[in-house]
A and B are shown apart, each in its own frame.
Chain A
Amino acid sequence: MNLVIALLSTRTYLTAEQIRATVAGYQDSPSDEAFSRMFERDKNELRDLGVPLETGRASAFETIEGYRINRVAYALPPVELSADEAAAVAIATQLWESQEMVNATQGALLKLRAAGVDVDQPDADVAITAVAMPGLRGSEEALGILLSAIDSGRAVQFSHRANRGAPYVDRTLEPWGVVTYRGRWYVVGHDRDREAPRTFRVSRIGDGVRAVGPDRAVTRPDGVNLRDIVHRAVSEWPAGEQARVWVARGRATSLRREAAGSVPSIRDGRDGDELSLDIGMVDRLAREIAGYGADAVVVEPESLRDNVIGRLRAQAGQAVRR
């Protein structure tokens, strides 16, 4: 603590000797060696905490290097958050459960408060419940390890599977960053085995992620836009095509809500409406339509109609087999 204060307040560089002589806590060092060790330990601790230590010579005549902390580099730049923005931050930080991420965000909140930002303890209005459905975002533990590796510039090794039915494959990645895209996390980097950039969904990474190799071994190439890489890797094909589906009166609510247009229509003596729907993801739409059984009938396109009929046949066929 005293070391930081001294190094912040000095206008020139303080040598180790000067520090030893004037900074409380070091004067009682029993020997040169004890002081050296203590001083090294303290310097390393400060570096780990992100306190920027600068070295240099106090003057042209000074042969020994000294230390100081650049006030500008040390401090959090002024931040002002509106009440709504601060509220959003307070709620968001409740997302984390793992000790590592909780500590990190609590640390951030403390610094923000120290900078005068009014981030209150959030009310109990929003509860982020931990429910065991791990497939969605992915393990916080894996995320923590990845972020830590990215921070130190280390490569990572992990096992990854394309989907739940596929086997795990070991990968070695030089990670450049983690991107949040449509609520999912993706780690992007240089895949050493495939010798090309790759994107991996964090929720598909297995336990046992580990950082390997030395610090600063990984550098992110210039001009690489992580968001673009993920967007291209992950995007669905644009919709464009529309379907026409007849739905019975008072039924198929979810289809009705999605419909771009609706026209009353009678089919087989039943009242209903013909809906125009953007197709989007065919699998999802076909599943939804098939679920409504006789209450939703595809008029066109033929491919969607066949898809739905195929599902219904499979279910009816199972019944016949019994």
Chain B
Amino acid sequence: MSNVSNRLVRLLNMVPYFQANPQISHAEAAAELGVTRKQLLADLNQLWMCGLPGGGPGDLIDLDFEGDTIEVMFSAGMDRALRLTSPEATGVLMALRALVDVPGVVDPEAARSAIAKIEAAAGAAGGSAAGAPTLADEDVENQATAAVRAATRDRRALSIEYHSASHDTVSQRVVDPIRIAVIGDRSYLEAWCRTAEGVRLFRFDRIVDARVLDEPSAPPEPAVQAGPDTSLFSAESADPTLPSATLLIDASVSWMFDYYPLRVLRELPDGGWEAAMTYASDDWMARFVLGFGAGVQVLGPPGLVERVAHCAVTALAAYGVSIGE
């Protein structure tokens, strides 16, 4: 949309906006309208010159904006917001639908009812996009998720039971929530862990239980300032101080590249790839490789290679299978 059109839409909606938000301050209005104070003033002055045909004093839009706040005295019939265009309706609806399935980001029940209301208000404009059929029990948010969301919103500390994949344990800890982060496809609680004395990302679907505590959330200030540490999720931002595994990835498991932060080192003639992946836990990485069987071969570091081999052999022994067979 051109700047001229953007401005026109804004002007068309400004009068009903001020009517709906009486005595709103210049600063707040500018923020909500997405413009600078200067632009807001220019727009208000422009509106002042618009009105009904005839152009007499009684026909023009009348706004009082000399003080700190803005008030509509005469709307010249501009009382209603313009209806949503298809891209506008679709943008809101698709965003809501995308987040409904990611735990902890939005209240799923509220999101679904918001979707229904906006679909109704948008009418045909909402038609280019649709969502999956909803099932009744998907609406009820998991108690732990709801507690985490509430604690983050109300800035209270949390006691959580968390399944740590890297350590293969469920342990209890007290944390100070900082924010909820959506990384890729999943949601995480970014919080100061009092036991670890560091900021951690707790994946929502691994928070087994959560209880809001009476005390306030008090993460150390520097931890709050920094954004979430996503280096383990992204191939680009790998932490050079952490170990990196060199892997041969078979063509049959190419989907791995969509889900794991693999860095391609080279393509292989048989259609596979040699790739690197940074990891923080030896235990986790060994399990990762082992699980893929023929799909992934680990080339290094040597400690990891040995560990995987050892695990495979002892596992086969548990099945009563020796390697010679």
Using a CB–CB cutoff of 8 Å, the interface residues on chain A facing chain B are: 1-2, 4-6, 8-9, 22-24, 45, 48-51, 71, 73-82, 84-89, 91-96, 100-101, 103-116, 121, 123-129, 131-137, 143, 147-148, 150-151, 163-166, 177-183, 185, 203, 226-227, 230-231, 250-254, 257, 267-268, 286-294, 297, 305, 309-320, 322
Contacts and interface: CB of A to CB of B under 8 A. Distances in A.
Contact of B323 (A127, A293, A320): A320
Given A1-B8, A91-B105, A114-B16, A310 B294 contact: yes
B314 A113 contact: no
A294 B51 CA distance: 80
B312 A316 contact: yes
Nearest to A84: B110
Contacts of A267: 318
The 8 closest A-B pairs by CB, nearest first: A135-B258, A311-B293, A319-B309, A165-B254, A291-B291, A75-B80, A291-B287, A114-B81
B101 A183 contact: yes
A50 B98 contact: no
A92 B12 contact: no
B293 A314 contact: yes
B91 A126 contact: no
B10 interface: yes
B114 interface: yes
Interface string B1-31: 1001110111111101100110000000001
B198 to A, nearest CB: 18
B77 A8 contact: yes
A95 B111 CA distance: 14
A110 B81 CA distance: 9
Select the residue from A6, A101, A110, A116 with max chain B CB neighbours within 10 A: A110
A147 B184 contact: no
Nearest to A117: B20
Q: How large is the interface on B (under 10, 10 to 19, 20 to 34, 35 or more residues)?
A: 35 or more
B87 A5 contact: no
Nearest to A1: B50
Given A4-B12, A291-B290, A319-B309, A128 B129 contact: no
Interface string B67-109: 0000000001110111111111111101111110110011101
Given A79-B118, A101-B91, A297-B318, 12 more contacts: A85-B117, A107-B9, A111-B88, A125-B153, A133-B233, A178-B129, A292-B287, A293-B312, A294-B311, A310-B293, A316-B323, A320-B323
Contact of A291 (B83, B236, B271, B288): B288
Select the residue from A132, A143, A288 with max chain B CB neighbours within 10 A: A132
A286 B291 CA distance: 7
A76 B82 contact: yes
A23 to B, nearest CB: 6
A305 B318 CA distance: 12
Contacts of A180: 94, 97-98, 129-132
A227 B130 contact: yes
Contacts of B271: 165
B228 interface: yes
Select the residue from B10, B49, B290 with max chain A CB neighbours within 10 A: B290
B227 interface: yes
B316 A133 contact: no
Contacts of A80: 117
A220 B319 CA distance: 56
Nearest to B106: A88
A309 B313 CA distance: 11
Contacts of A311: 290-294
Contact of A179 (B52, B130, B288): B130
